Structure 1
Amino acid sequence: MTAAQTRPDRSSTGGRGGPADRRLPDGFRVLLDRRTRLLDGGAALLGGAPPRLVHLSATARALLPPPGRPLVVTGPTARALARTLLDAGLANPLPAAVPAVGPGEVTVVVPVKDRPLDRLLAALAGTGVAGPIVVDDGSADPGPLRRAVRAAGGTVLRHDTPRGPAAARNAGLAAARTPFVVFLDSDVVPEPGWLPPLLAHLADPAVGLVAPRIVALDPGDGGGPRGAVGRYEAVRSSLDLGPDPALIVPRSRVAYVPSAAMLVRRDAVGDPAFDPAMHVAEDVDLVLRLHAAGWAMRFEPASRVAHDHRTRPGEWLRRKAFYGTGAAPLAQRHPGAVPPVVLSPWTAAVCLLLLAQRRGATAAAAVVTAAATERLSRRLTRLEHPRRSAALLTALGLSGALWQSASALTRHFWPLAAAGCLVSARMRRAVVAAALAEGLADWWRHRDRDPRVRTGLPAHLLAHRLDDLAYGAGLWRGALAHRTTAPLRPSGPRTRR
């Protein structure tokens, strides 16, 4: 098998030791991701996280089942192929009927401050997990919380003064006595059947973290989320990473998972797991450190945890801006891991030519694209149709670059774009085109994510633009506070080693 193995990027700081054993057990099943493309009759696979082209040997091609059927680990060769497909993000595990880990090996840790936990404690009843550890992070009146948790068979730890959610989670982790810990925020409610799909991933000894899908909490009348912001958040919340399973990899489709709900292997995260100095983006920091250390992480949408989204406009916008402030400390701790855009030199040149809107710019962009296609085809001579495959790859790369550029123009760089609009008609046209095109594409991609709600295009477009403005404002505020341009620097694709 000549498929390139995925090697963790170790440029980030703070990673712990990786898994000692990466062997998949016999009977483990993997299924090609629906985004993975087969080229030349299966001689190569295109896809993964981040996207790459993987060549397969004749032996690997013979083992690979037809699309829609799983590969079952039955020996060393199938085990190596399955490992390669998983590590590249080209395939996803199929959960076993009986998880390798029982709920009795799991402790739930909940950080809380001035919030009742009745809904969450009721949802945990009967799951078989060890009694929850609730960390009261300085609630003004701890009595009702203590009584409710003890009635549910749990334990309460208390910080007399608030230390933040990261420190609270660390305190609960230190008190847990099980090899696996689930972190749940106080404003979530796990849906029935949420735990087994997460536990199933632990059959892979290389998996250090598994996260469920975060969906909008139903207000209780069965009618779904209400209000313009509530409907938008139900389909477009930054906590909801979509309906498809994925490998969690920085700079990919699922680059992070929120700590609102996640299952961790204690041997992977160590103690403490979260940096208590971080009051925002501490979950992304954990993901980046685990990735740097060589641990695999999985996003499992078959497990669903409902979240009580903020839907009051002012509160919602402040939260979005707060998320944006986390980009600066992340970029300083993990250089190059959270860039606003990732562009190759040729896609950057094409985007700049189109943005310039000068006479002949479109023709020049076409020439650059054709040259990039021809150059790439010369590197794909192992394929039967190198030019055809190169054309597909450049088309995918250019479409992704255009989408990133339009998004960054109205999100990360909107203060610069706004300044440019004051003096340039071309910039005004570019910003309007980007805002409308990217907004339309975003609405189309997310409009059906929650069957309980329907968001019209105008409402979605307005909310999406406000979302981006708030996040961008927070990003610039964080960059100024930390005196760094790191979260604003574009990056190129990383060379795979």
Structure 2
Amino acid sequence: MEPTGTADVSIVIPTHSEKRWASLTRTIASAHAQTHRATEIVVVVDHNPEMAARVKLEFPGVTVLENAYARGASGNRNTGAFHTRTAFIAFLDDDTVASPTWLAHQLVPFNDPAVVGTGGGIIPAWAGARPTWMPDELLWTVGVSYTGMPTSTAPIRNVWSANMIVRRDVFLAVDGFRIGFGKLGDQNRPEDTELCLRMSAAAGGRWIYVPHATIDHEVPADRSTFGFLMRRCYAEGRGKVQMAGLMPKDQELGAEKDYLRRTLPRAVVRNLADAGSGRGMFHALRAATVVAAVAAAAWGGGVETLAGLFEGSSSTTTVS
């Protein structure tokens, strides 16, 4: 099936550091190489004027903007998205490479007017060997698709901003990504999940996951360590508690609960069984990693919950 009409789409690529120049170059090249041509490719540079000038000089066919908001990926993406005029806006990160048919495949679900956004499969491009202790169910910690996600085109609660297409009118109706709520420094709050929930609620629509609309996402060596995994899970625990505080009281984190109650326990049982049947002791390490990841996320969630309770009690205290 072909995308809706001409399906005019712009691609927004946020970036911030010349350390990623080589990967940014690959991302832009892959955006240009789409079988479904984008109307405009927009690169937004996060408070780095020198890099913005270099992008303008070396990529004359690309629109270059500077982040109009506070530092961070949310403001960076919004700057580019609000500039566009096409019916659809696609987002790529500056360390990804989109397959040539990425746009074509991922635009198809928009034939249904109830679809407010789509996401696609994200394949890890490891800088080195994949850690043997890394279970498939925890690949989300390095920003790629993981076991537990749909394996064919299907509705999904949320997708990731590294590989996302939105209806521009719905995106604008909810004011885009929430500024100040996202990934910056040691904070790792799920700004893409929060956006997906607001867009679905505002339009009464749904998101569709298209696993064969793929991009490759670089996984540097420093993100392939057990320490990074623990910090990422801890930050995710804190971020999910913060996100829950922004959601309506009747809107629960059902996907997270299902993941904790079903997907992860199955991962532990399966890996222990594989280890016991002689398929490799690394499976035992994967089972232990799942347990450690849950503990780290719970710790982060507990810390954030206590912080919120303390802040709430402090705000109600009066000085006589």
Tell me the TM-score normalized by structure 2.
Answer: 0.76
Give the 3 Å change call, closer, same or farther, for CA 119–444 of structure 1 in structure 2: farther
Distance 1:258 1:233, change over 3 A: farther
d(CA) in 2 for partners of 1:192, 1:158? 27
In structure 2, which of residues 279, 284, 295 is the aligned counterpart of residue 458 of structure 1? 284
Q: Is residue 135–residue 172 contact of structure 1 (8 Å, CA) maintained in 2?
A: yes
Mapping for residues 13-92 of structure 1, pairs under 5 Å: none
1:264-294, CA deviations, whole angstroms, 9 ceiling, x for partnerless residues? Answer: 0011222521110312211111121122230
The residue aligned with 1:261 is 163
- Contact 1:138/1:161 (CA < 8 Å) preserved in 2? no
SS at match of 2:302: helix
Which whole-Å CA distance do the structure 2 matches of 1:195 and 1:299 have between them? 13
* Residues 406 and 263 of structure 1: CA distance in aligned 2, closer, same or farther (over 3 Å): closer
Identity %: 25
Match of 1:311 in 2: 224
Conserved in 1, the CA contact under 8 Å of 2:181 and 2:191?
Answer: yes
Corresponding residue pairs, total: 281
Q: How does 1:87-486 map to 2 (within 5 A)?
A: 96=1, 98-102=2-6, 105-114=8-17, 115-116=20-21, 117-127=24-34, 128-139=37-48, 141-142=50-51, 145-147=54-56, 150-151=59-60, 153-159=61-67, 163-219=71-127, 226-228=129-131, 232=134, 236-238=138-140, 239-240=144-145, 241-248=149-156, 255-270=157-172, 272-279=175-182, 280-293=189-202, 294-309=204-219, 310-334=223-247, 335-339=249-253, 404=261, 439-441=268-270, 456-483=282-309
Structure 2: segments with no counterpart, 5+ residues: 183-188, 275-279, 311-320
Describe the SS at the equivalent of 1:122. helix
SS across alignment from 1:483: helix
Contact 1:134/1:149, CA 8 A, preserved across alignment: no
Taking structure 1 as reference, are residues 203 and 326 closer, same or farther at Cα in structure 2, changes over 3 Å only? same
Comparing both chains, which one has the higher relative contact order based on Cα–Cα distances under 8 Å and sequence gaps of 6 or more? Answer: 2
Amino acid at match of 1:287: C
CA distances 1:57-105 after superposition (whole Å, capped 9, x unpaired):
xxxxxxxxxxxxxxxxxxxxxxxxxxxxxxxxxxxxxxx1x222446x1
- Runs of 5+ in structure 1 lacking a partner? 1-95, 220-224, 249-254, 344-399, 408-433, 446-453, 485-497
Change (3 A) 1:110 1:118: same
Asked if structure 1 preserves the Cα contact closer than 8 Å seen for 2:52 and 2:64, the reply is no
Q: Which one has the largest radius of gyration? A: 1
Residue 28 (structure 1) aligns with: none
Deviation at 1:197, TM superposition (A): 1.2
Cα separation, 2, equivalents of 1:112 and 1:304: 20
The alignment partner of 1:181 has SS state of strand
TM-score normalised over the length of structure 1:
0.51
Residues 216 and 234, structure 1, Cα contact 8 Å, conserved in 2: no
CA root-mean-square deviation: 3.3
